[in-house]
Amino acid sequence: MPVMNDEVPDEGDFDAGRRRGEFDDITPEDFIRGIGNPPGWLASGEINRMRGEMPIPYVLVVPVRTDDLGRVSQVGSLLRVSDDGSIERTLIAGRVLYHESLREAVARNVAKDLGDIALPQLPVSLQPFTVAEFFPTPGLSDYFDSRQHAIALCYVVPIAGDCKPQDETLDVEWVNTNSEILDTFINQMSNGYGTIVRQAIAWAGR
């Protein structure tokens, strides 16, 4: 089967043996193993070991839309498939990688979930509106994560562009901050995420 010049070849391709310079050693399995992941990314075995030994730093983003005066008019959430197969409503969250600044971590995780044209307006100050400490043991705090003890710096980030769900995100849904269904929207968030959204709205002065 003919392949394009820069396509990773399979063994049966007629030009699989052709030299490709710096791409010679790349195989399809490399993408499964995560060679293309950003610097500082850990393999699943490594991160699972670390999760059992120490708290993991996270950034957590409450995406919002603002009006012409800069006031928060809508709050966003992500829809994903949970481990038990149900649809869950959640927020943008991700680890801070080794040698990655907090600002870079916020930008990377927004792009990972909302796409490259979401156009997040990163905060001028890196002071989070709250710090949420997630524990793997239910009842220790309002925030629960069965995988790990995580310390999440929480930011409100206005989104100016178009959202294209990426990675594990099925959809992005928005609700007006003055809507009658806001409480229902927030109450659908488990493990403390709803509390974080309420704090974000209060912090933004809505």
pLDDT at 92: 97
Q: How far, CA to CA in Å, does 130 sit from each of 41, 118, 171?
A: 26, 24, 26
pLDDT at residue 152, rounded to an integer: 98
Is residue 180 predicted with pLDDT exceeding 80?
yes
Round to whole Å and give the CA distance between 22 and 19.
9
Amino acid in the structure at residue 22: E
What are the C-alpha distances in Å from 123 to residues 3, 41, 129, 153, 172? 45, 24, 11, 13, 21
Tell me the whole-structure pTM to 2 decimals. Answer: 0.77
Give the tens place of pLDDT for each residue, 61-76: 999 999 999 999 999 9
Q: What is the pLDDT of residues 24-54, one digit of tens each?
A: 554 444 433 333 456 666 777 877 777 778 8
* Domains assigned to the chain: 47-203 (3.90.79.10)
**pLDDT over threshold 60, residue 21:** no
**Backbone region of residue 160 per phi and psi (left: phi > 0; alpha: psi in -120 to 50; beta: other values):** alpha
